[in-house]
Amino acid sequence: MATTYGLTSTGFVYPSLQDIVSQLETETQATFGANIDVSSTSVAGQFIGNLANKFTQLWELLAAVYASVDPDTATGIALDGCCARVGVYRLAATSTIVYEFLYGAQGTVIPVNHLIAQSNGTQFALESATTIGGSTWGDVSIEYTGSIVPANQYSFIINSHTYTYTATSGDTILSMLTGLAALIQAGETDVTASASTVNTVPSMRLLSTDGIISFTLGTFYTGFAINTNIAYASIGEYAASVTGPTAAPSGSVTTIFQPVTGLSEITNIASGETGTNIESDDALRVRRRKALAGSAYATNEALQTRLLQEVSGVSYCQVISNRTSGVVNGQPANSFWVIIEGGDPTAIAEKIWQLMPAGIPSYGGTSVTIYDSNGDAQVINFDRPTNVYIWVNGTVSAYTSSFPADSVSIIAQNIVTFGQENYSVGDSVIWQALYAPIYQCPGILTVAFTIGYSSSATVPPVSYSDTNITITGAQLAQFAAAQIVFTVS
């Protein structure tokens, strides 16, 4: 039975190039006689071959148009259109975000788009103008210039909460500040408070706990003042000048690229929130399927999809439920766990509260307090992915003169680029996969290397091995050139 081409009940069917050639040969001989030479080297055969190529291109174009309306086969902008019809849009590439401690003179205004940099030259621009010691702080030391009287109360306001310490007999300024710091430490989740003597001056240091969330100070009571002999800072949010995964470990962004009078020092206590490449077709298809259930509430798929779509800046989200009556992988019984990258913490917490199942507690190391429609405080927990720093140690030998003099740095950068492009949150590091970026360096004869991991970008692992590194759903593998050491044998 002859094959039917075009739109059929089972889909779109189109002929191959050879099918078209055979059909044109048959029709040519039917028109001009059976004796006409239609072999590929004849004039008629050459004409048929050229015409068949054009027909093939037209059939392939029709097949592509047909495929463009099916989200399982559409690609690129056609897939964007399929997804848009159900309210899903491709996630754009994002830039790495770092939260920078800006040390300097109180009142110094750091303008929007102010540039800072890593030692490798990667630049970051300030998202919005920030005033050192304006309405928010990241690091500040407080002194007390009065005297300590037993039974007197000494109060300090932070994040609109008032903490009061009652002095006892024998208290000194340092012991009073120590007691006050203990009260603040117990009452504030976003602030670490401690007291010590610095340069002979008893001081209470207030520091953003995670290096991201700022805090506010209320009007100082009599005797309290900023210790201006100790550097203090506010926190500015900077975005990398390029999109995509740029590693920014803790303490790696310390160069003031554009000097500002009154700004003396910068550093990032927290690791940066790693940027992402534009969402791939495969990932977009998966998210579209999940989104078909995303208008729902209180399910893992709904939470994940809507946090990704409806909270600005979110680049990754995973939701894990423990429906058992026991602890599973450290997660409490009957709880749900949101692991999320990017996005404002308060916006994330508010969206989780809107979507979460009633009566089921959230789990995670980051706690944000929001207020429900009754004005009652609700604590929402979630987690940011934890950085796992990947270290590589190896040797290479050369066999040709094409082996570059700076081969070691080329190999290191190749591995970093490979890691940034291929590993996202929860992706385990495959030891053998790293051969690919290493051999991108020309002239290599042999390679031997091992890998390890640590929780620090500066402290090497205790051991290395030629085995894979397991990364959990709450972790992100980080690669940096300083963690990759090769020698040439």
- The yes-or-no verdict on residue 169 having pLDDT over 90 is yes
Tokens read off for 210: 């995670």
pLDDT score at 2: 62
At 293, is the secondary structure helix, strand, or coil? coil
Name the one residue in this structure whose structure tokens are 């007390």. Answer: 144
What CA–CA distance (Å, rounded) separates 249 from 236? Answer: 16
Tokens read off for 15: 């002929």
Q: Are 244 and 276 a contacting pair, CB within 8 Å?
A: yes
Give the 3-state secondary structure percentages of the chain, helix then strand then coil, rounded to 5: 25, 30, 40
Quote the mean pLDDT of the chain.
Answer: 90
Number of Cβ atoms within 10 Å of the Cβ of 359: 6
Question: Torsion over CA of 425, 116, 90 and 317, rounded to 10 degrees?
Answer: 30
Sequence-separated contacts (24+) of 283-291 with Cβ below 8 Å: 283/91, 284/79, 284/80, 284/83, 284/88, 284/90, 284/91, 285/71, 285/72, 285/79, 287/88, 287/91, 288/71, 288/82, 288/83, 288/86, 288/88, 291/86, 291/87, 291/88
Between 3-7, 59-63, 429-433, 461-465, the lowest mean confidence (pLDDT) is in 3-7
- State mean pLDDT over 187-205: 92
Name the one residue in this structure whose structure tokens are 């579209």. Answer: 288
Structural domains of the chain ordered from first start: 6-67 (no CATH), 95-267 (no CATH), 293-382 (3.30.300), 386-488 (no CATH)
What CA–CA distance (Å, rounded) separates 330 from 63? Answer: 51
pLDDT score at 196: 94
What CA–CA distance (Å, rounded) separates 159 from 229? Answer: 24
Amino acid in position 262: G
Name the one residue in this structure whose structure tokens are 């208008």. Answer: 295
Tokens read off for 444: 């290599």
Among 319, 284, 287, residue whose Cα is nearest residue 304: 319
- The yes-or-no verdict on residue 182 having pLDDT over 60 is yes
Between 65-79, 261-275, 335-349, the lowest mean confidence (pLDDT) is in 65-79
> What percentage of the chain exceeds 90 in pLDDT?
50
Between 84-93, 289-298, 358-367, the lowest mean confidence (pLDDT) is in 289-298
Q: Are 129 and 109 a contacting pair, CB within 8 Å?
A: yes
At 137, is the secondary structure helix, strand, or coil? strand
Q: Are 437 and 426 a contacting pair, CB within 8 Å?
A: no
Sequential DSSP letters for 340-353: EESS-HHHHHHHHH
What CA–CA distance (Å, rounded) separates 37 from 51? Answer: 16
Element (H, E) at 181: helix 173-187
Instruction: Name residues whose C-beta falls within 8 Å of residue 222's C-beta, 6 or more positions apart in sequence.
Output: 146
List 243's β-bridge partners, or say none: 95
pLDDT digits (tens, 9 = 90+) for 308-318: 888 988 888 88
Angle at alpha carbon of residue 287, lines to 284 and 293, rounded to 5° = 150
Among 242, 212, 7, 207, residue whose Cα is nearest residue 115: 242
| Higher local confidence (pLDDT), 272 or 141 | 141
Give how far Cα 475 sits from Cα of 209, 279, 429, 447, Å.
20, 20, 11, 29
Number of Cβ atoms within 10 Å of the Cβ of 306: 22
- The yes-or-no verdict on residue 1 having pLDDT over 50 is no
Q: What are phi and psi of 21, to 5 degrees?
A: -60, -45
Amino acid in position 15: P
| Higher local confidence (pLDDT), 338 or 68 | 338
Instruction: Measure the N-to-C terminal CA separation of the chain; round to a whole number of Å.
Output: 68
What CA–CA distance (Å, rounded) separates 97 from 93? Answer: 13
Radius of gyration of the chain (CA): 31
Amino acid in position 178: T
> What is the CA 228 to chain-centroid distance, rounded?
36
Number of Cβ atoms within 10 Å of the Cβ of 221: 15
Q: Are 173 and 144 a contacting pair, CB within 8 Å?
A: yes
What CA–CA distance (Å, rounded) separates 396 from 488? Answer: 5
pLDDT score at 456: 85
> What percentage of the chain exceeds 70 in pLDDT?
98
pLDDT score at 295: 56
pLDDT digits (tens, 9 = 90+) for 110-166: 999 999 999 888 999 999 999 999 889 999 999 999 999 999 999 999 999 999 999
Number of Cβ atoms within 10 Å of the Cβ of 116: 25
What CA–CA distance (Å, rounded) separates 465 from 481? Answer: 19
pLDDT digits (tens, 9 = 90+) for 6-43: 888 888 888 889 988 988 988 888 998 888 898 888 99
pLDDT score at 446: 92
- The yes-or-no verdict on residue 205 having pLDDT over 90 is yes
